[in-house]
Structure formats: C-alpha cells, structure tokens
Structure 1
Amino acid sequence: MKHTMYGYTLVEVVISTLLIGILSSITLPNLSRFLAQNRLDNSMSHVLKSLHVARGYAVSHSTNITVCPLISGSCTKDWQNNIYIFEDRNSNLSLDESEYIIKVVEKVHDRDEFSYPRTAITYRADGSINFMQSGSFIYCNNRYPDLTGNQITVSQVGRVRIKDSDKCEKPSL
C-alpha cells in the first residue's frame, strides 16, 4: 500500500515565511509614503478640477461662483473642512436662500494640512476672480513634507496651475 503525504515540511514553511518577511520589510516602509502621495494627488486633483468647474460655470452662466469652506452658510478661512462651490449672485461670500450649491469637495485627510491665504475665491462672468483673492493652495503632509505636486496657484485672471512647493515645514529630529 502506497502512503501519500499532503502538506509542507517544516523547512518549506520556514523558508516561505522568511521570504515573505524580507519582502515585507523592503516594501512596507515605502507603502505609507506611496499612500500619502496618492492621497495628496487625489485631493489636489479634486480641488483643481473643482476650480475649473467653478470658472467654467461662472462663464457659461454669466454669474458669480464662489469657492470656499462654509460654516453656518458663510465662508470661512478653515480650508480643512469641506469646500463648497455655490452660486453667489450678490458676492457676499454667503450661501443665501435663493442661491444653490453646485459641488462639494470633501475635506482632506485629518493628518494632512490644507490652506489658502484668503477666505474665498469668487469667479466672475468673465472668468477672472475678485480683487485680492489670488493665492496658492498648499497641501502638507507632516510625515512627508517633500511630497510632490502640493501647490495649486490661482492667478488674478482665474487660471490655475499645480506645481511642487517647498512651503511645508520639515519635521525636526
């Protein structure tokens, strides 16, 4: 009678576990940086596309469109919250009853910082923005401050561009 054994030997299990451990120790440290870069890219892409939508909507509908974080219906400088794009006919930086929300951009991850030096951006019917609203969005990850593509600049004529920035603080050791 022939006796067949199913399974693995102890040597095979130890070698497999050792190989998995070595590969994990090489890839896992880079995985968190990769995920942080991916989170930054997605967030910045959403903001960039939303600014394009706001500008295009203002031009095509000949109205004022405001982009800002809202708290109790008024624009604030707390860009860590959800960012609202809404029709702002009277340019008062508040969402009034006769005005409506066009789009909402979800807030950035809690571990990351997102800022803009102004309270809001209001696109006019010609595609430009209101006086003294130009500036740069800065996205910083405290653990990896050197991530690429972390600045969106909004010009006075309403155009936006994304680029790398060195404005994030390096962690002190």
Structure 2
Amino acid sequence: MHSQKRTGFSLIELLVLTALIGLLAGLAMPSLTSALQNQERRSTLHDLLGLFALARQHAVMEGVIVTVCPVNSMGACSRDWNNEIYAFSDPDNQRQLTAGKAPIRVVSTGGSGRIVVRSLHRSYFQFRPSGFVHSDLGNITWCPNTGSARMAGQIIISRGGRARLANDHDGDGIPEDAQGRPLKCS
C-alpha cells in the first residue's frame, strides 16, 4: 500500500498564519506612519528652504524686491499657507503677482500637515536687493495633523535674509524656535 504525500496547508495552519501576518502588520503600521510623516515634514521644509534661498538670490541678482507668499485667485498675497507658495519679483512692492508675469518658483505644501506662519501679522516675506529681509522677520512651522510637536519642524528667517531649520538643542526630541522655546503645534 502506497501512502500519499500531503501537500498544502490545513485550515488551522492557514488561520494561524493569517493571524500572525495581521499581528505583524499591525505592529509595523505606527512605525510606517511615523516614517511617512517624517518624510513629508522634511520634504516640505526643504522645498520651502529652497524657495526662500532662490527668492533671496533673485532679489540680489536682479536688484528688485522679491515677495514670497501664497497667492489668491486675483494674484494678491493671501494668508493660506497650506496651498501653493509663490516667489515673484515685486519691484513696486504691491505684494501681488501681476498678470503676464511668471513666478520665480512655486512650491506646493499640501499633504498630511499644516503650515503656520508668524511674521508680525503679515502674510508674506520679502527680500531686498541687498538680500536682507524687507518685511518683518518670521518663521514658518510645519505641524503634522496629529499635532505632535515631536514631528514638527520650523524654518527661521533672520534679518539678514538667511533661512535655516530649527534644531533640537536640548535633546528632548522637540526642535526649538529662535528664542530657544520648544515648538508647539496647538
């Protein structure tokens, strides 16, 4: 009598395997979410750093005021920094992208985070032909939709026009602003 070899899995083996795969996927999900938020934060902040550097360079090279702001449908600076951000030549200091003029650069900031801008009640940043800030100093903070300050990031703009990323100097996992205070996303 020949015995037949059994191939394949029994129903119980398949159920145990499915449960293990589900458990492992559940454990990996928070780590994956955190990695994706970290990547979005880094990408958004580096895109904005590049925008500010290019705007400052253009102001110096072309000898004109350059404005950086979100633009509404009429071409004027708006307050909603969670859409496209424009850098454009603004020789008459109108804070408006005039018809027929191409922007220097446009950056999209959509995604699973929000941007908060602080520039003494202004909704824009400007650079003089010297490269210095024409308007007030300020900062741009990216916060994840979860509100976690540990995942936040900030660009600090100095009077000299230099844009830099906020760092975590005290090692608590939360970057500090220009005054040394931990970032907040509330």
Partner residue, 2:144: 141
Q: Is the 8 A contact 1:88 1:99 kept in 2?
A: no
Q: Which is worse superposed, 68-77 or 141-150?
A: 141-150
Q: Within 2, Cα distance between the matches of 1:44 and 1:137?
A: 9
**Residue deviations 1:47-98 (CA, integer Å, cap 9, x gap):** 1111111111222222221110111111122212210111111111111246
Alignment of 1:120 onto 2:124: yes
Partner residue, 1:167: 184
Q: Report deviation, 1:25.
A: 2.0
Q: Report deviation, 1:159.
A: 0.4
Q: Is the 8 A contact 1:122 1:130 kept in 2?
A: yes
Partner residue, 2:108: 106
Unaligned runs of 5+ in 1: none
TM-score, scaled relative to structure 1: 0.84
- Between the two proteins, the alignment pairs up a number of residues equal to 167
Partner residue, 1:90: 92
Q: What percentage of residue pairs aligned between the two structures are identical?
A: 28
Q: Aligned ranges for residues 4-153 of structure 1 at < 5 Å? A: 6-71=7-72, 72-97=74-99, 99-109=101-111, 111-117=112-118, 118-132=122-136, 134-148=137-151, 150-153=153-156
Q: Report deviation, 1:21.
A: 1.9
Unaligned runs of 5+ in 2: 167-174, 177-182
Q: Which amino acid aligns with 1:102?
A: I
Q: Report deviation, 1:5.
A: 5.2
Q: Is the 8 A contact 1:74 1:94 kept in 2?
A: yes
Partner residue, 2:171: none
Q: Is the 8 A contact 1:152 1:160 kept in 2?
A: yes
Q: Within 2, Cα distance between the matches of 1:78 and 1:113?
A: 10
Q: Report deviation, 1:126.
A: 1.4
Considering only aligned residues, what root-mean-square deviation do their CA atoms show, in Å? 2.1
Q: Which amino acid aligns with 2:142?
A: Y
Three-state SS of the structure 2 residue aligned to 1:36 is: helix
Q: Which is worse superposed, 8-17 or 59-68?
A: 8-17
Q: Within 1, Cα distance between the matches of 2:65 and 2:27?
A: 52
TM-score, scaled relative to structure 2: 0.79
Q: Within 2, Cα distance between the matches of 1:98 and 1:14?
A: 64
Q: Write out the 4+ residue segments of structure 1 that deviate beyond 4 Å after TM superposition.
A: 1-6
